[in-house]
Amino acid sequence: METTVLTVTTGDREVVHDLTAECRRFVRGKGDGLLHVFVPHATAGVAVLELGAGSDDDLLAALRDLLPADDRWRHRHGSPGHGRSHVLPALVPPYASVPVLGGELALGTWQAVALVDLNVDNPVREVRLSLLAG
C-alpha cells in the first residue's frame, strides 16, 4: 500500500475544502485500486459530493442547522459550540474510499472529494491518502 499525508490549512472558519486535485495527482498513472482518504482528527470529516454551484455552502448551512454553534454541548472547551465539531464525524465520517481505474479516480461527473471542517480552533489539518493497488 502506498500512502502520503497532505497538510491542509483550513484557517479560522468552517470550510469544505476540495481535495480532488491532490487525490488525482496521488493516483495518476498507478493502475487500478482503491483510494482511501482519512483525516486523523476527532473534529473533521471527508465527503464525496458536488462542489461549487452552492453545494458546499448548502452542506455547511445544513450542518449549522443540525449542529448549532451554541452552548448546548457538554464538550465545552475551545470556542463556543466546539462540542458540535466532535459530533460531526458521526454525520460526515472521517474517511471515504474511491475506486481508481487506470490511474484515474472513478468519480461521477460532478463528484469531488472534500475535507469538511467546522472546528475553527484548529487551523491546520492532516489528510492521509492511501492507495491499495488492485
Asked if 91 and 66 touch (Cβ cutoff 8 Å), the reply is yes
- Cβ-in-10-Å burial (0-12, 13-18, 19+) of 117 comes to buried
All domains of the chain in start order, with CATH: 2-133 (2.60.120.460)
pLDDT at 29: 95
C-alpha distance from residue 101 to each of 5, 29, 44 (Å): 22, 9, 28
Packing angle, helices 82-91 and 55-66, rounded to 10? 120
The alpha helices in the chain, defined as continuous H runs, are 20-27, 55-66, 82-91
What are the pLDDT digits (tens) for 35-70?
A: 999 999 999 999 999 998 999 999 999 999 999 988
Q: Which residues of the chain have pLDDT under 50?
A: none
d(CA 9, CA 36): 20
pLDDT at 75: 78
Percentages of the chain per state (helix, strand, coil), in multiples of 5: 20, 35, 40
